[in-house]
């Protein structure tokens, strides 16, 4: 693990683990053992311990007595709350970003949408999730609001651990890229409101699958 100029090993360890949580590298209920994480990162145990405690303080991980640090399991009520926040934050970032995207950004979105389609056809969940994260980041960064992006990334950590469950149903998974393709089309015709609606559809569609794996008593179905 290389440390960029101007950052510390602890900062980079934290950033990497935060990213791993976001893309579902860890699953709900998983215990994160410091030694194993340090070996995976190629760093010592001290920066890993500090990073895990920092993530626990942010609510992305949980300190469990006599167990250590674990990945939390969302209840359905918590998931619904997170979804509503994501719809507000990401819808706003998407609409603003679409208005400000340059030609290079639009080209990147098209390429990533194609990459996600190829990943779904190949059944490659990791490739899909990696491309999906980059797709959304490019669009949201274009909004020009670092605070908005920071809030979005913080919320992502809450749902990242269940993201691999999107691929439990192969028929469901094949439609995961539909909204991204709609985003690209709306961007190309200059329809920023259409981009917002497509992102909201993307979040809502994924939520149908992810909510089912959350804990707690089953509630009524989500409504668009």
Inside any domain, residue 1: no
Inside any domain, residue 219: no
Gap between the Cα atoms of 109 and 180, Å rounded: 9
Q: Along the 224 residues of the chain, how does pLDDT read in single tens digits?
A: 555 544 689 999 999 999 999 888 898 989 999 999 999 999 999 999 999 999 999 889 999 887 789 999 889 999 999 999 999 999 999 999 999 999 999 999 999 999 999 999 999 999 999 999 999 999 999 999 999 999 999 999 989 998 888 998 989 999 999 999 999 999 999 999 999 999 999 999 999 999 988 875 444 334 43
Inside any domain, residue 202: yes
Same domain, yes or no: 127 and 53? no
What CATH number does residue 46 fall under?
Answer: 1.10.10.10
Inside any domain, residue 4: no
HSE-CB of 42 using CA atoms within 13 angstroms: 4
Kindly report the pTM of this predicted structure.
Answer: 0.85
Inside any domain, residue 3: no
Same domain, yes or no: 97 and 180? yes
Gap between the Cα atoms of 13 and 50, Å rounded: 9
Which residue in this structure is represented by tokens 């329809």?
Answer: 191
Residue 144, phi-psi category: left (phi > 0), alpha (psi -120 to 50), beta (remainder): left
DSSP states along 98-118:
HHH--HHHHHHHHHHHHHHHH
Same domain, yes or no: 43 and 110? no
């Amino acid at each position: 693990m290389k440390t960029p100029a101007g950052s510390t090993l602890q900062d980079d360890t934290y950033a990497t683990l935060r990213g791993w949580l976001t893309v579902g590298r860890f699953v709900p209920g998983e215990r994160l053992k410091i030694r194993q994480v340090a070996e995976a990162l190629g760093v010592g145990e001290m920066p890993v311990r500090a990073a895990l405690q920092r993530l626990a303080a942010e609510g992305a991980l949980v300190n469990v007595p006599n167990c250590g640090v674990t990945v939390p399991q969302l209840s359905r009520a918590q998931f619904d709350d997170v979804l509503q926040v994501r719809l507000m934050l990401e819808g706003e970032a998407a609409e603003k970003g679409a208005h400000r995207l340059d030609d290079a950004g639009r080209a990147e979105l098209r390429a990533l949408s194609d990459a996600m389609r190829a990943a779904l056809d190949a059944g490659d969940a990791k490739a899909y999730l990696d491309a999906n994260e980059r797709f959304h980041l490019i669009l949201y960064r274009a909004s020009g609001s670092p605070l908005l992006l920071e809030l979005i990334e913080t919320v992502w950590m809450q749902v990242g651990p269940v993201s691999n469950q999107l691929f439990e149903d192969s028929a469901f998974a094949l439609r995961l890229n539909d909204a991204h393709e709609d985003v690209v089309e709306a961007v190309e015709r200059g329809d920023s409101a259409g981009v917002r609606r497509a992102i909201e559809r993307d979040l809502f569609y994924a939520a149908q699958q992810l909510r089912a794996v959350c804990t707690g008593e089953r509630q009524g179905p989500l409504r668009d």
